Chain A
Amino acid sequence: MTLAELLDKLERGRIGHAEAMRWLGIDSYNELVEIVHYNGRQMPGHRPMPISPETRALLRQITRPLPPRPQPAASGEEDGPDQ
């Protein structure tokens, strides 16, 4: 089972906290909550961990929208044409 699969099962309630903590090798519920939120998942009734306002403000200053992604080439290259 990969971490992604574990988080998916945990979020859907298919495995319990104890089993997830055993798989992750941790003994702290708080740490489990942290891992789940940090990986974009949510425990029932929890809100996502926020990124700090400073970081968001910095990225606003130096980030522009992503150009449309080209369709993957037939050769399998996923990052667009080499131009």
Chain B
Amino acid sequence: MARRIVDVAVIIPDASPVLTLARVGRLDLFETFSAPIHIVDQVHYEITKPANDPEGKVAAWLRRMGNRVAIEETLVGLGFRTKLERGETPSGGNLGEIAVNEYATQVALRGSPTFAPLVLFEDPDVLETRIARLPRVHLLNTSAWIRALTDEGIIADSAALLEAVNAQRKSPLRPVERSGRTARVRSPWLTRRRDNDIG
């Protein structure tokens, strides 16, 4: 039987992975992805606003990445930007999470049946959102990603990098990963140990 092609994209539903790597000067790690990176518009706003990107590192990184990063428009983000353009000062509050839920709903309803999202996150609240319950979703936080990149020989300095990350945190960043599972999409990384899902 012919194997179906797995369509993988990296989704960043949380500003933290980008801001963390920007703070330690390692945004270049995102360039290791050959799959497209999707960032919801409200998260894009969060990672590029001057308070979070005072030196413009994230903005420069986004320009370098070009079309390898897709900014996913949501009605939540559009409404927020409209209010800003009107001169209002809306609270950003939980809009990032609401926008990500809207995007996750779009993916769930209209996404390809072979789409396998790799969600890169840090905020544990992401694990409770709809994006963490998408079919075939694979979740990985920044720490686990760094460890896995080292295991694969992509980077050699994970211990030093994790130290640099943790030196700026009050609590250690612990690796979190959750493997995707599926009965329909045949892929070595999806079909092995399907009983190991913790979601």
Query: Bound pair: A and B?
Result: yes
Please determine whether B144 and A80 come into contact, CB atoms closer than 8 angstroms: no
**Shortest beta-carbon distance, B158 to chain A, in Å?**
5
**Chain A residue contacts of B10, Cβ below 8 A:** 62
Return the chain A residue nearest B192 by Cβ: A54
Q: Contact at B8–A65, with CB atoms within 8 Å? A: no
What residues of chain B lie closer than 8 Å to A78, measured between beta carbons? Answer: 25, 57
**19 further contact pairs, Cβ within 8 A, besides A49-B147, A63-B149:** A35-B174, A39-B166, A52-B177, A52-B193, A52-B196, A54-B189, A55-B140, A58-B8, A63-B33, A63-B34, A63-B152, A65-B154, A67-B28, A69-B28, A79-B22, A79-B27, A79-B60, A82-B63, A83-B63
Chain B window 17-33, contacts with chain A (Cβ cutoff 8 Å), 1 for yes, 0 for no:
00000100111110111
Q: Does any Cβ of B come within 8 Å of A27's Cβ? A: no
Given contacts A59-B152, A63-B33, contact A40 B25 (CB under 8 A): no
Shortest Cβ gap from A72 to chain B (Å): 8
A40 lies within 8 A of B189 (CB): no
| B189 and A58 within 8 A (CB) | yes
Interface size grouping (class) on chain A: 35 or more
* Cross-interface CB contact of A39 among B26, B32, B148, B163, cutoff 8 Å: B163
Interface check B159, CB cutoff 8 A: yes
Q: Are the C-beta atoms of A62 and B166 separated by less than 8 Å?
A: no
Q: Which residue of the partner chain, among B29, B34, B164, contacts A62 with CB atoms under 8 Å?
A: B34
Per the 8 Å Cβ criterion, residues 1-56 of A in contact with B are 2-4, 7-8, 24, 34-35, 38-41, 49-56
**Contact A51/B32 with A39-B166, A40-B159, A77-B60 known, Cβ cut-off 8 Å:** no
Question: What is the distance, in angstroms, from A67's C-beta to the closest C-beta of chain B?
Answer: 6
Identify the closest chain A residue to B139 (Cβ): A55
Residues of chain A within 8 A of B155, CB atoms compared: 66
- A2 and B22 CA atoms in complex are apart in Å by 20
* Count of interface residues, chain B, beta-carbon cutoff 8 Å: 56
Nearest-CB residue, chain A, relative to B188: A57
Assess whether A52 is in contact with B149, with CB atoms less than 8 Å apart: no
Q: Does A61 sit at the interface, judged by CB under 8 A?
A: yes
List A contacts of B28 (CB < 8 A).
66-67, 69, 79-80
The verdict on A40 contacting B33 (CB below 8 Å), with A51-B175, A52-B177, A82-B63 known, is: no
Smallest Cβ distance from B179 to chain A, in angstroms?
Answer: 4
Contacts of A80 in B (CB 8 A): 28, 64
B8–A62 CB distance below 8 A: yes
Rounded to whole Å, the gap between the CB of B18 and the closest CB of chain A is 11
Contact of A77 with B57 in the complex, beta carbons under 8 Å = yes
